[in-house]
Structure 1
Amino acid sequence: MTMMTLQDDLTTAAAKGNTADVESLLRRGAAVNGVNRFGRTAVQVMMMGSWPVAWVLLQHGADPNVADTSTRTTPLHDAAQ
């Protein structure tokens, strides 16, 4: 499995709110602050309201201050809306 596939899988799992898959992918080497093919990190695309996914990502060092390249907003901006 390539690193890009791991990143795509990680962001997909985060977007679906799948905590078990997020944890598994991080253990297998997915970079917590890496981007998927669309340039987004797992914390940027995680299912809103999925605090377990947010917790896992933050515990693994996810940076919640990385701005989305297209909207220039951060996950904090998204959470506040």
Structure 2
Amino acid sequence: MTPSGKTVDAALAQLRQALSTLESAVDGRFERERAHSDIEGEVRRVHADRSRLAQELDQAEFRANRLEEVNREVSRRLVTAMETIRAVLDR
């Protein structure tokens, strides 16, 4: 083989190596992009779940407060009814 043939072979070997390195870099980039996209999707799902849970918590707190108000009103009415019954019995 002539010296120029060796030079061409060496250049081709370097080109093949460079292409292989480039393919690996591109594959790695695609994989990171895919993973990043998966993570972004998961973050969106977590935010949606958090929003839904916050809304459910707000509704539950509202119902609990309403039940507390109703409970106080029922207690007040029971006390009034008992006092009325006592007054009637005491006559």
TM-score range, shorter chain: under 0.3
Determine which structure has more spread, i.e. the larger CA radius of gyration.
2
